Each structure stands twice: as C-alpha cells, then as structure tokens.
Amino acid sequence: MSNPVDTQRTYALVGTGGCGKTSLAEMLLFNSGALTRMGAIEDGTSCLDYEPEEVRRRGSIQPAVATCLWNKNRHFMLDIPGDGNFTGDMECLLKGVDSVVFVLDAVDGVRPLTKKFWNLVRAENLPAIFVINKMDRDRADFQMAFDGLATLGVKAVALQVPVREGEAFTGYVDVLTGKAYAFGDNGAVSECEVPADVADDVSLLHDLTVENIAESDEELMEKYLEEGSLSLEDLQTGLRKGTVTGELCPVLVCSSLENKGGVAVLEAIQALLPAATERPAFVDAQGQERAPDPEGPVAGFVFKTLADPFSGQLSLVRILSGTISGDVTLKNMRSGENERLGSLLFLTGKTQTPCKEPVGPGAIVAVAKLKNTRTGDSLCDEKQPFALPMPKLPPQLITYALAPKEKGDEDKVYSAIQRLLDEDITLRLARDEENGDILLSGMGQLHIELSVEKAKRRFKVDINLKTPKVPYRETVRGKVQVQGRHKKQSGGRGQFGDCWIEMEGLPRGSGYVFEDAIVGGVIPRQYIPAIDKGIQEAAARGFLAGCQVVDFRVKVYDGSYHTVDSSEMAFKVAGSLAFKKAMESLKPVLLEPIVLLTVSVPDECMGDVIGDLSSRRGKVLGSDSAAGVTEIKAHVPMSEVLRYAPDLRSMTAGQGFFTMEFAHYEEAPQPVADKVIAEHQKAVAGE
C-alpha cells in the first residue's frame, strides 16, 4: 500500500487579479465533492472569499486554504490573491506549497504582473502547470495566451486544444491521445468526433508537444530519434518527469464559471505535480538540509496567520518533515520558546474540520491560539532544530497618516492596527517623531483602505485616513559666525550662557557635525554638550517649515560664563539662540525627498506613463523592453507619487505595477518651497 503522503498534493493557485483563480478553486472543490454546490464571486457566495471586504469588492484580499479528497488522494490548495495590493507576502506563501497551478485569463493572456509572479515561482523552484481560464468569454483566444508563455521563458506543452462553437466553449481535444470530449452537465464529459476546424491545430501541437517531451529527457530523445515516435506511456512518463523537474510546463484549458474542464485539471494535478516527498530537501540559513521525510524529525513553517472570530488567531503551518498529530510541543526557533499545539484543523475557506489522522510532509494545518508564534516562524523538534529562512519582503509603496474621529482615541487606533500586523506582514505601523502622526504603510492605496476598514469592523474604532506629511528637510549654504547669549535675572539665582559659533552648510548627505574649538576654559567643559543639545533640538524643530535642518557643521569657538548663574540649561538655550541667528543669516533652503520609481507596464502604455512621470517633475533614467513589457526607472519627488498606485492602474487598465525606494534629497523648486512654508505657517497660526 502506498504512503498517503506520496499521493498527496499541495499546490498554490497563482495568477494576476481577475483571471479566475478563486472561481477555479470553487470548481475544483465542487468536482472533488468538497462542496455540494458552486458559489460565485459575483454573488458573494464563493467558499474562499469570505471576508466582508472580499464579498463587497468581489475579489480576494487574503490567501485562503482549502482541503479536499480527489479519488481518495488529499489535496491542499492555497488560493493567493492576484491584486498587487495583496501580493507582498507571496514569497512567504509559496514556501507553504510544493507546486503551482498558474492561471491565465484567455482574454488578456500574459500581463506585466504575470512575469513578476512567474519569477517568484521560479525563484522557489516550484513545478507548475498552466491553466488558461475563461474560455467561455467572447474574446477568448487560446493561441494568443499560449504563445504568450514563451515570453516567460517557459517550455509550454499544450495538453488540450479548446473546441468552440460560435462563442460557446463546448469541449476540448486531448493533444496526446487525439481524442475529443464534449462537455455535458455538472462538469461531465463524453467522447466525440474531433471537429474538422481544429484537426490541423491538434496535429501541429501534437508534434510540438512530443518533441518538447522528448527533448526534456536524454533516453526519450534517443528513442524518439531511433523510432520516429514515442508510445503514450513514454510520453506520460516523460511529461511527469519534465514537469516535476520544472523543465516542462503543461497547459490545460477550462471555464471555471461554467464548470467546464475541472475534472481534467484535477487529473493533471494528481498525475503530473509532485508529492511533498519528491521535492528537494529544505535548506536553512546555515546550509543545513532537512529532507521531507515522514519518518524524520518534526519541522513546520508558519506561512500565514489568520484572524478567526471564534478561534482567535489561527497559524497556518506547512509540515516540512516528520509526522504530527495534535497535542504536541514544538520549539519556536525565533523566540526560543516551546509552543503546545492543541487540535490540528483542516481548513476549507472559513470552515474548520478537526484533523483526526496524523499528518506528514506537505500537509497544511491550522493551529489556534499559539502564544508567541507569528508568520515566518519555524516550529520543530527541540532536539533536532531546523528553521526555514524568512524571505525578504518587498518595500512598502505608500504611507498614510491615521487619525481617530474622536480626539484622544489615538492609542485605541494604534492598538487596533497593531493587531492587524499579526496577520498581514506587509503592513508597517510607526509614529512620526516629528509631528506625532500614526503612520500606516502598505503595498498600495487599496491595501491601506481595506486594512483600515477591517480594523473599524473588527475593533469598533473610527479612523480617518489622511495623506501624511512628506518628510521635507531644510539645509543651509555658506558660512556665518554668530553669538548666542542667554541672560535672565529675576531675583535670586539668574541664568547666564554665552557662546560664539561658526555654522556652515555641508554637502548633501553629510549629516550634522559638531566641533568643540574652545580653548583657555572660556566655557567650562561640562557646558559644551548642552550647547550641542540646544542646537540639535532647535534643528529638529526647523526654521522655514518646521522640518529638520540637515547637512551642516557647527564649531563653538568662544563664549563666556558666570560662576554662579551659568548652568547646563542656560547654555542649552544659548546654543538654540545661536542656531536661530545663524539660520536667519544663512538663507536656508527646503529639500524634498526623491524616490527611485521602477515601473513595469505593457509596451503600448510606455508613452503615456513616461509623459505622466514628466508631468510629476520626474527624471526618466532609462527604460528596458522585453517580452511586451517595458520597465522604466525614474527619479521622482516623493510628494508627486503619494497616490501613484490608482493613477498607474487607470493608465494601464490595471496591468502596470511599480516599486519605490528612497533615493536622495534635492533642493525643492521655489514654488514648491513657498507652498510648503505657507502651509506650515497656516498650521502654526491655527494652533
């Protein structure tokens, strides 16, 4: 009897937003018997999009897991969102699976984001099959979508050719066997004649598929060259081997909305994708290997944390090695603490089923209420430790300031968002030290808006979103010498501090330099740090627009003191006064932050996007085009791209994406500086 682990499949559904991944999952679950009826995204009844925000916007915003039995073989399915707002943790999620079902839209084919997602799949060395979905659509074009796979560097092998009558998707032809099948009710198929209008296409694709399979294996290639053909058994064996090694990518067709092709997809998953025990060993940060052996020491990786209204926090654990059942204690390799795993659960959307049998490598189980375990943690046998490295996450692209509707509720807002960070590792929460704002950073405007919506719903806190202050800076040019003198007498002990400083601007990025040039004890040594502190505090408050002053040097070279009235506080005030005097003389300027923007768009959108970047005062550094996608790099003022995500989406019909990172500071143009200074003065007057 075969080990159940050997017939088990663990795979992710990957593809760009709107290609029908969740509908495909729904169809697979229905055909496997896990669901008694197919739900629909449009009706808000799909099994895997169950969060209220997902139902409202008719699209996935968080990954969902489903478990089903197909011909008595257990399948673990991970549906990963395709909207760029919600894919920042894809590298972490892909560590939870052994293979990928990559979904393409038959109307749009390969999009710019497709390439990005495929590169992530390839980086994890995951075998994949491609499913061209939405073959029922009016403008569905199988050949266009299939040809587009070449731009990904994929050796695609077509296993099916769709059959259409008018605009209807009525069946398919199996390329390897040459048999045609017509769709009936509820996903059923029946054999039929090969339609004359696709016979030539099938013949051409058959020859190409046979050649590709033969080329993927030396023995098969020799046999093919000697005999001129290969048996069906040879082809199926070679196809599976080539798929598991990543050499070949089989391609199937379906219409998940009409439940057509689901059984064939399930059969291909079972026949072609690897079991957990067939994958290469896992490797930790030190290069130590851990084989996916059911008899080996226990290790698991927490690839996602979900919030459940009844169970609290759910940790989704992928078993890497060993076999476990409930009520086991494992060590968290990050915290060093032991965690007791209570009951193990199988998930299908929000439905939880107790796991009654021991589970081994490849299994995905949910565990409730772990004390100190978060996404990216490894849990293992204390005596044989192993930790999978946490992948590096992409930088956040947009930041908003959060404000409570009710004054005084700042802490309530902060703690509500803090609780979301456990389940969404692509969010960043911080406080702006300059103005006290609560800052929430994420992968796009929609990501931030839906996170705030979720916090409002779950934790009953009203939050307003406001665009945060851009972190402008101020600096000086030239050099000046000034006196800072603080003298106060009001009966009893007075205050006296007196210092002369030389202040000058430094090259961009030099920071702040303080130099003590006092000789002869004109200022006692213990008061020098107080002058430095007074200058730094004044610089943090700014001079023009309340922004920190940077890139300058101060030299204290003279001064005087009073044996009774001088104190650290007096010299701190004197330093602050000297700084303000110097700023008045040096004609300070405003600096604006510049970001490096990398934008990937379809070739046909390049002109519009470059024109738009120019209108945002951007300087295009260069562009590179490959496989129908242009990558543009540009330096752009941060203030011009705070809300870039929705604008790019509308310019590229949702097919463009970008990354953004801080580059440097530049002097702001006078109109920009005048506007920022005026807004600051207005805010100060309002206070």
462 vs 654, which has greater pLDDT?
462
The angle, 0 to 180 degrees and rounded to 10, between the axes of the packed helices 644-651 and 606-615 is: 150
517 vs 397, which has greater pLDDT?
517
Residue for token digits 């543009």? 632
- pLDDT of 494 > 60? The answer is yes
Give me 188's structure tokens: 């059923």
Of 48-52, 159-163, 277-281, 556-560, the one with minimum mean pLDDT is: 48-52
- pLDDT of 1 > 50? The answer is no
Is residue 653 exposed (0-12), middle (13-18) or buried (19+ Cβ within 10 Å)? exposed
- pLDDT of 207 > 60? The answer is yes
User: What confidence tens digit (pLDDT) does each residue in 424-452 have?
Assistant: 898 988 887 656 778 888 887 788 888 89
CA distance to 402, 412, 438, 555, 623, per residue, from 428 (Å): 12, 17, 11, 39, 30
3-state helix, strand, coil in the chain (%, to 5): 30, 30, 35
Is residue 158 exposed (0-12), middle (13-18) or buried (19+ Cβ within 10 Å)? buried
Work out whether strand 128-133 and strand 249-253 pair parallel, antiparallel, or are unpaired. parallel
Whether residue 476 contacts residue 588, with contact meaning beta carbons closer than 8 Å, is answered with: yes
User: What confidence tens digit (pLDDT) does each residue in 114-167 have?
Assistant: 888 999 999 999 999 999 999 999 999 999 999 999 989 899 999 999 999 888
CA–CA dist 393, 18 (Å, integer) = 24
Write down the pLDDT at residue 434.
Answer: 58
CA–CA dist 631, 566 (Å, integer) = 62
Whether the domain at 398-466 and the domain at 590-672 fall into the same CATH topology: yes
DSSP for 258-303, please give it: TTBSHHHHHHHHHHHSPPGGGSPPEE-TTS-EE---TTS--EEEEE
User: What confidence tens digit (pLDDT) does each residue in 310-365 have?
Assistant: 777 899 999 999 999 888 999 999 999 999 998 999 999 989 999 988 999 999 99
CA–CA dist 219, 241 (Å, integer) = 12
Q: List, in order, residues 6 or more apart from 501 with CB less than 8 Å away.
A: 481, 482, 484, 531, 535, 554, 555, 556, 557, 575, 578, 579, 582
Domain 4-278 coded CATH 3.40.50.300:
yes
CA–CA dist 89, 302 (Å, integer) = 12
Write down the pLDDT at residue 627.
Answer: 66
Three-class secondary structure of residue 559 per DSSP: strand
Whether residue 240 contacts residue 271, with contact meaning beta carbons closer than 8 Å, is answered with: yes
Q: What is the CATH number of domain 398-466?
A: 3.30.70.870
User: What confidence tens digit (pLDDT) does each residue in 551-562 have?
Assistant: 999 999 999 999
CA–CA dist 132, 255 (Å, integer) = 8
CA–CA dist 127, 122 (Å, integer) = 8
Is residue 480 exposed (0-12), middle (13-18) or buried (19+ Cβ within 10 Å)? middle
Q: List, in order, residues 6 or more apart from 125 with CB less than 8 Å away.
A: 246, 280
Residue ranges per structural domain of the chain: 4-278, 282-380, 398-466, 473-587, 590-672
CA–CA dist 452, 642 (Å, integer) = 18
Whether residue 77 contacts residue 16, with contact meaning beta carbons closer than 8 Å, is answered with: no
pTM for this model (two decimals): 0.79
Whether residue 480 contacts residue 586, with contact meaning beta carbons closer than 8 Å, is answered with: yes
User: What confidence tens digit (pLDDT) does each residue in 69-107 have?
Assistant: 999 999 999 999 998 778 889 999 999 999 999 999 999
Write down the pLDDT at residue 435.
Answer: 64
208 vs 4, which has greater pLDDT?
208
Whether residue 79 contacts residue 63, with contact meaning beta carbons closer than 8 Å, is answered with: yes
Work out whether strand 338-341 and strand 299-308 pair parallel, antiparallel, or are unpaired. unpaired
CA–CA dist 662, 17 (Å, integer) = 28
Three-class secondary structure of residue 620 per DSSP: strand
Side-by-side strand order, sheet with 168-174: 160-165, 168-174, 180-183, 189-192
Band of the pLDDT at 628, cuts 50, 70, 90? Answer: confident
Of 357, 285, 279, the residue nearest 320 (C-alpha): 279
Write down the pLDDT at residue 2.
Answer: 47
pLDDT above 90 covers a percentage of the chain that reads: 62
Whether residue 117 contacts residue 88, with contact meaning beta carbons closer than 8 Å, is answered with: no
Work out whether strand 328-332 and strand 473-475 pair parallel, antiparallel, or are unpaired. unpaired
Q: Which strand (E) or helix (H) includes residue 418? A: helix 410-420
CA–CA dist 261, 231 (Å, integer) = 25
Q: What is the CATH number of domain 473-587?
A: 3.30.230.10
pLDDT, mean of residues 291-302: 95
Rg of the chain taking only CA atoms, in angstroms: 31
Domain 282-380 coded CATH 1.10.760.10:
no
List 90's β-bridge partners, or say none. Answer: none
For 590-672, CATH number out of 3.30.70.240, 1.10.10.10, 3.40.630.30, 3.30.70.20 equals 3.30.70.240
Give me 687's structure tokens: 């206070």
Of 421-425, 521-525, 529-533, the one with minimum mean pLDDT is: 421-425
- pLDDT of 239 > 60? The answer is yes
- pLDDT of 687 > 70? The answer is no
Band of the pLDDT at 413, cuts 50, 70, 90? Answer: confident
Highest mean pLDDT among 187-196, 496-505, 623-632: 496-505
The angle, 0 to 180 degrees and rounded to 10, between the axes of the packed helices 445-459 and 644-651 is: 120
Mean pLDDT of the chain: 90
